[in-house]
Amino acid sequence: MNSERGWLIAFEGIDGAGKSTQVDLLAAALRRGGRTVVTTREPTDGPHGAKIRKLSSQGTTISLQDELDCFLEDRKEHVRELIAPALARGDVVITDRYYLSNVAYQGARGLSPAAILDRNEGLFPHPTAAVLLEASASLGLGRVRARGESLNRAYEREEFLTQVAEIYAEIERPYLVRVPVVGTPEEVHRA
């Protein structure tokens, strides 16, 4: 157990940018260095996260505000049940998506990115670092297709992901680190 407060590291980026891969690579490196690491993702597998995934996979439409509220409820539970206790123990929490994903994705769907960011930063702990994996929409979609996954009609369209990437590009925060997705996953990890 560490006596110091833990770290919260979020990997952000469009679908297919390599977030899950980079979460795994960083977690392994930190564990080799003796840190206790908790990996997680958003939406979570909790009730609100499951609802988000179900609505998304079925193509069900709800109001943009209701969609955002589902994400916020999922995050509230995520922070209370997993993130805050792990940070209090001094662990490193690495999450595949956090609130900047809401800023970019729900912003691209028509809500105010600034309002989403303000609301999240007022409610939830800021990440120690948010690593934005900068990938083109065509690269991301190509990777999603290569995994054999069916594309989510609401989120996985080139024009939509281009909008998402543009919103990510506009975000400026002291904790945000931008990493271009160039080369192998290991090369991106070393960047």
Assigned domain for 1 exists: no
Please determine, for residue 31, whether its predicted confidence score (pLDDT) is greater than 70: yes
| Residue 83 Ramachandran class (φ > 0 left, ψ -120 to 50 alpha, else beta) | alpha
Assigned domain for 127 exists: yes
Assigned domain for 132 exists: yes
Q: What is the mean pLDDT of the chain?
A: 91
Please determine, for residue 1, whether its predicted confidence score (pLDDT) is greater than 60: no
Assigned domain for 2 exists: no
Whole-number pLDDT of residue 55:
81
Rounded average pLDDT over 127-152: 83
Residue span of the structural domain in which 28 resides: 7-190
| Domains: count for the chain | 1
pLDDT tens-digit readout, 91-111: 999 999 999 999 999 999 999
Assigned domain for 97 exists: yes
Please determine, for residue 149, whether its predicted confidence score (pLDDT) is greater than 80: no
Assigned domain for 83 exists: yes
Angle at the Cα of 102 (from 105 to 31), degrees rounded to 5?
115
The CA distance from 74 to 186, in Å, is 31
Peptide bond into 180 cis (omega under 30): no
Whole-number pLDDT of residue 184:
87
For residue 172, give the CATH number of its domain: 3.40.50.300
Assigned domain for 86 exists: yes
Please determine, for residue 21, whether its predicted confidence score (pLDDT) is greater than 80: yes
> Cβ distance 161 to 14 under 8 Å?
yes
The CA distance from 68 to 73, in Å, is 9
Rounded average pLDDT over 74-81: 98
The CA distance from 46 to 72, in Å, is 12
Assigned domain for 38 exists: yes
DSSP state of 24: H
Q: What Å distances lie between residue 106 and 65, 85, 88, 103, 167, CA to CA?
A: 9, 28, 30, 6, 10
